[in-house]
Amino acid sequence: MKTYKQLSFIFLLFLIPSSYLYSQTKSNSRIIYSKKKSLEIPYTLDKSEKIIQRVELWSTEDGGNSWKLSRTDKDLRSPIFFTTQKDKIIGFYILQIKDIRKKPNPPITGTIPHLVYVIDSKRPEINLEFQKNRLFKPKGEISLKWIAADPHLKKLPISIDISLDKGSTWTALFSNLPNKSIKLKGPAEAPDGFQYKVTATDMANNAAAVISETLHIDSDIPMASVIGPEYSREQNFEVIIKTFDKGRSGIKSLSLWYTTDKGKSWHNYSRNLNPQLPIKITSPNNASMIGLYAVATDLAGNSSLVPVADTPAQHYVMIDNTTPVLNILKPKKFSSIGGNQELLIQWKAEDTNLRKFPVTIYYSQNNGNQWELITKNELAEDSFLWKTPKINSSQCMIKIIAIDKLGHLTSKKTLYTFEIDSKPPLAKAMYLENNDIAETRKIIQSVSETSKHKKIIKDHFEKLQDLKDDKQYELALDYLENLISNDPKNSRYYFEKGLILSSYIGSSDRIHLNRSINALEKAISLNPAYEAAYILRGSVYYKKYTLEKDDVQKKHYLLLAEHEYLNAIKILGDNYDEYSNLGIVYYQLNKFKDSKKYLLKASLLKKRPSICYWYLAKIAEGHENFQKAEVFWRKAAASYGVNTVFGEKAVINVEKAKSKKIGKKLLD
């Protein structure tokens, strides 16, 4: 027997993992792993002894500190049978006795066992991580991640199988793999899906397997196509992309390519774009036309083809930030014309993106305060023979408007006034024939009906502040719909409909704002010079800005409002609301120089321009010009009235501006 000092390591033999134990134990102490609890302990009789009378089996469960006699084999035939009730590590020592009359020499503390049995009936624990995506392209890379745990795992414990028939049969892929994740190629095809089975085995040949969820092959190539916009007013614009994926994995990302030489060469603008977010592009080198091509990648890893030289663009975008050039060629300056006479109007409009029929013509009989339609949907370069109305006015003017496809508008009017004289000669007697009398009655009746309608609508407008439920609003809207059905080309009715919808206080605020925009669009299409409609639509877009939470969308609505107010200014350019509202829009866009310009212009058009003074004060404060801020706060207080809420706030801000002015002087 070995002494304790010589083999002191044996105590640790049963306390450390079996993989370490197996590699560290000396060859004269053999380790056997077993998942059975009934053991057959083999032995060989010592051939150097001629007579062996008895064989004893001694066991230890505490690393050799103590030993006990477990079995006696009197027939001297291997093996000796041993049974245990639970998993444990047991050391065995075979004692061969040649003379039973003498006291045997059993193992003592520190004696190395001949055999060490690791009784392990428990299977390893193994968990397989679920795949985030269950669709893969043919032969695509798949990452299998698992966690296998057991105190007696094999050194290479993992095997992987695959099934292409819902688990009915399995084909071995790998064996003797280390206990760590693996990346492998999926099958080329699997009509019914496929599954992986990962098996972990320990030293006692206990095995535990885990089967993945059913995965699928997606061999369909996703498609992406740029479909808009057709035109852009600015170098920066949002691209509209339509996607389609016949497979079930869904679009993961997009990449956007562009060409400025009609497809001769392509350049990547951006990769890994989120298809759920707005995709914006800045036209490179200020190009006036840019070709676009979108490439889609799905979650399975399939991608559509990248454009190469001479690949046609999916879509071209024209960038146009200029207004049409318009000239009134005729009439030349003249002084007077009779009523019901023909007057030749001739013009020429130029722009790279003009509408097919871009021109609308109006006349005014009160020096431009109000305009009435002469004709619309005229060609860019043409003439029109106008039959003058039977009116009497010396303040007549002609105005022509040209609009391009992006809504850029140019308006020009005659720089002079002329007279339309419909008065008969003084020598003639004035009388009405029967037909004239009948026509006059029709006109009077029409005016009367219109007045009734306007009064009813006006009554609704006056009650708008008191309307609290949908029914009262719908009552006003229903009446307008009746008017529209009777006179579908009356732009005024559409304007009034937009006005009611924009004032809606119901819970579906955004819905009614969108309906208001549609109504105003109709009013403008019927009367492209409808200044009030442009102003109101700008105000609706501003209201949508105040309701929106997303920063990108908020800016989008501000830019739309800016566009409407600028169009309104081009028509007449003498309305307080269009200037003051545009000034506020520029303030929100942090364009303070432009904001100040339009607010000052607006302040000259109204006696008490309260809101203008308020924002001019804020702009001055932002530039730390507290002296000017104080002046504007005083004007705002006087304009609002010191007894109003905003008047009181303006008075408080006067004192704050004074304090900051003094503080700045001290610092300077």
Read off φ and ψ for residue 125, nearest 5 degrees: -95, 135
26 and 66 belong to one structural domain: yes
- For residues 544 and 510, is the Cβ–Cβ distance under 8 A? yes
pLDDT of residue 591: 93
pLDDT of residue 9: 32
pLDDT of residue 449: 40
7 pLDDT above the threshold of 60: no
Quickly state the pLDDT bin for 101 (edges 50, 70, 90): confident
398 and 463 belong to one structural domain: no
pLDDT of residue 176: 95
- For residues 486 and 461, is the Cβ–Cβ distance under 8 A? no
Tell me how many domains the chain contains: 5
172 and 191 belong to one structural domain: yes
Domain final residue pick, 485, 503, 528? 528
pLDDT of residue 548: 86
237 pLDDT above the threshold of 80: yes
Can you say whether the dihedral through the CA atoms of 384, 385, 390, 396 is positive or negative? positive
Domain-located, residue 554: no
**What value does the mean pLDDT take over residues 81-106?**
88
206 and 261 belong to one structural domain: no
443 and 365 belong to one structural domain: no
pLDDT of residue 479: 77
Helices 551-571 and 531-547, packing angle to 10 deg = 170
Domain-located, residue 381: yes
Burial 388-397 (b: 16+ CB within 10 A, else e): beeeebeebb
pLDDT of residue 667: 61
Please, what is the average pLDDT of the chain? 84
pLDDT tens for each residue of 468-482: 455 666 777 787 888
Tokens of 228: 């808009």
Domain-located, residue 500: yes
57 pLDDT above the threshold of 80: yes
pLDDT tens for each residue of 599-622: 999 988 888 899 999 999 999 988
475 and 505 belong to one structural domain: yes
- CATH number at 281 reads 2.60.40
CA-nearest of 280, 350, 291, 294 to 322 is: 350
Task: Kindly write down the DSSP assignment for every residue of 323-354, as one continuous string.
Answer: PPEEEEEESPS--EEETT-EEEEEEEEE-TTE
Does residue 2 or residue 62 have the better pLDDT? 62
Does residue 360 or residue 491 have the better pLDDT? 360
- CATH number at 506 reads 1.25.40
Question: Can you give the length of the chain in residues?
Answer: 668
pLDDT of residue 529: 85
pLDDT of residue 16: 37
Domain-located, residue 656: no
Domain-located, residue 66: yes
pLDDT of residue 49: 65
- For residues 568 and 535, is the Cβ–Cβ distance under 8 A? yes
pLDDT of residue 434: 35
271 and 346 belong to one structural domain: no
Quickly state the pLDDT bin for 17 (edges 50, 70, 90): very low
Express as a percent the part of the chain with pLDDT over 90: 48
Domain-located, residue 102: yes
pLDDT tens for each residue of 207-233: 999 999 999 999 899 999 999 888 888
74 and 13 belong to one structural domain: yes
Quickly state the pLDDT bin for 363 (edges 50, 70, 90): very high
Output 25-29 pairs: Cβ under 8 A, ≥24 positions apart: 25/116, 26/112, 28/112, 28/114, 29/91, 29/112, 29/113, 29/114, 29/115, 29/116
Quickly state the pLDDT bin for 424 (edges 50, 70, 90): low
Residues near 304 by beta carbon (within 8 Å), at least 6 away in sequence: 221, 222, 223, 224, 295, 296, 297
pLDDT tens for each residue of 487-533: 888 888 899 888 888 876 443 567 788 888 999 999 999 988 888 89
Domain final residue pick, 528, 550, 580? 528
Give the residue carrying structure tokens 């795949």: 131
**3-class SS at 57?**
strand
pLDDT tens for each residue of 185-207: 999 999 889 999 999 999 999 99
DSSP secondary structure code for residue 603 in this structure: H
Tokens of 507: 């819970």
pLDDT tens for each residue of 269-304: 998 899 888 899 998 888 888 999 999 999 888 999
168 and 227 belong to one structural domain: no
pLDDT of residue 664: 64
Maximum pairwise Cα distance, the chain:
171
Distance of alpha carbon 476 from alpha carbon 501, whole angstroms:
10
Residue ranges making up the domain that contains 280:
223-319
pLDDT tens for each residue of 541-558: 998 888 888 888 889 899
For the ranges 89-93, 165-169, 481-485, 594-598, the lowest mean pLDDT is seen at 481-485
Question: What is the model's pTM?
Answer: 0.45
113 and 14 belong to one structural domain: yes
11 pLDDT above the threshold of 70: no
**What value does the mean pLDDT take over residues 369-393?**
91
pLDDT of residue 46: 78
Domain final residue pick, 119, 140, 167? 119
Query: Residue 368 carries which side chain, given as an amino acid letter?
Result: G
Distance of alpha carbon 376 from alpha carbon 355, whole angstroms:
12
- For residues 83 and 119, is the Cβ–Cβ distance under 8 A? no
250 and 158 belong to one structural domain: no
Domain-located, residue 546: no
Domain-located, residue 29: yes
257 pLDDT above the threshold of 70: yes
pLDDT of residue 144: 93
14 and 115 belong to one structural domain: yes
For the ranges 1-5, 230-234, 582-586, the lowest mean pLDDT is seen at 1-5
- CATH number at 329 reads 2.60.40.10
Does residue 131 or residue 413 have the better pLDDT? 413
pLDDT of residue 135: 87
pLDDT of residue 463: 45
Quickly state the pLDDT bin for 115 (edges 50, 70, 90): very high
